[in-house]
Amino acid sequence: MTLTKQEKQALIDLANTARQRAYAPYSNYPVGAALRTKTGRIFTGVNVENAAYPQTMCAERVAIFKAVSEGEKEFEVIAIATNNGGSPCGGCRQVMAEFGLDTLVLMADGNGKLIKQTTVKELLPEAFTPEQLGKQVNK
């Protein structure tokens, strides 16, 4: 899959727009995500923090869960926007791995600048996948 510079920037811009809706009163670290599926649909997500910290949900997982709830399970690319171009947490990496190690991951800062481009496989080498359970999952 090859994305044009304009396509990447459009996803980054959507992630940054979504980031403005994040609920991050504790960390003050708003995160936005924009996920494009293989059918071309786009789902956004934001981090939603909670006073009981473990109940917080990351933007990447919100976008993925929205997509799955709408019947989408095959992803091409996810753009993640933070103040400083931060990387997805381990939990998000594992959830992304469930739906495809080849998914492109774009990390951008709050100014819309692409900081890093990678894949889920590069972010989570030796990922635990359904195949390790001896299962073939119909996605």
* pLDDT tens per residue across span 115-132: 999 999 999 999 998 888
For residue 123, report the phi and psi dihedrals to the nearest 5 degrees: -75, -30
Phi and psi at 119, nearest 5°, equal: -125, 165
Q: Kindly state the average pLDDT of the residues 88-108.
A: 97
Q: What is the pLDDT of residue 46?
A: 98
CA distance linking residue 54 with residue 47, whole number of Å: 12
**Mean pLDDT across 6-22:** 98
Could you identify the residue written with the tokens 């998914």? 103
End-to-end CA distance of the chain: 19
pLDDT at 135 exceeding the cut of 80: no
Catalytic residue ranges: 60
Alpha helices in the chain (DSSP H): 5-19, 59-69, 90-98, 120-123
pLDDT of residue 85: 97
pLDDT at 139 over 70: no
Domains of the chain: 5-129 (3.40.140.10)
Let me know: does 95 contact 103? Beta carbons within 8 Å. no
Q: How far apart are CA 35 and CA 15, in angstroms?
A: 9
| pTM more than 0.85 | yes
Q: What is the pLDDT of residues 33-88, one digit of tens each?
A: 999 999 999 999 999 999 999 999 999 999 999 999 999 999 999 999 999 999 99
